[in-house]
Amino acid sequence: SLILLAKIYNILPFKMRRKLFEIHRFTRGKLGLGIRYALLKSMSHKCGKNVSIHPGTYIFNIQNLIIGNNVSIHPMCYIECGNIPGGVQIDQNVSIAHGTTIMATTHNYEDIDIPIKDQGVENRSVHIHENVWIGAKATITAGVSIESGCVIGANAVVTKSTEKNFVYVGVPAKKLKQR
């Protein structure tokens, strides 16, 4: 069982589990899905049931990820959970299409006398509520809340929090219609 495997993984040091997650990032099929799930369950802040992390997905600061039941994260997604517990929270029944980026950090850039790269980052939580579909190659920026029932169109860039049960498209994402 995958729950048993997650408990076995828990015995290993965190750095070793993170390395195993990296090693199995591109492992295909049910084996890859199972290994990534068990490792996710052992490393994340909280992980529900029936979660699939498809090949090529990058998750940084995985210990700050909260993920509910029935979540699918498709290939080539990039998720930065930041340095706060629950930096990225994904509730139940969420589908995240391939190539999506979710960022719980943003660069500081206010001081014009210091290079931007030297100003550090700010952590701002991202919350994706239940029953959400995020289309291919969408970008969800730091501090955003995607409310329940939303559809985020392919290639949309979400820079502001959404309202429940709307479809959002474009750069930056705007309300297209109610579901």
* Tens-place pLDDT, residues 52-111: 999 999 999 999 999 999 999 999 999 999 999 999 999 999 999 999 999 999 999 999
Q: Percent of the chain, pLDDT > 90?
A: 94
* Tens-place pLDDT, residues 27-44: 999 999 999 999 999 999
pLDDT for res 149: 98
* DSSP codes, the chain: -HHHHHHHHHHS-HHHHHHHHHHTTT--HHHHHHHHHHHHHHHSSEE-SSEEE-TT-EEESGGGEEE-SSEEE-TT-EEE-TTSTTSEEE-SSEEE-TT-EEESEEE----TTS-GGGS-EEE--EEE-SSEEE-TT-EE-TT-EE-TT-EE-TT-EE-S---TTEEEETTTTEEEEE-
pTM above 0.85, yes or no: yes
Contacts of 169 (CB under 8 A, 6+ apart): 152, 153, 156, 176
Contacts of 42 (CB under 8 A, 6+ apart): 6, 7, 9, 10, 17
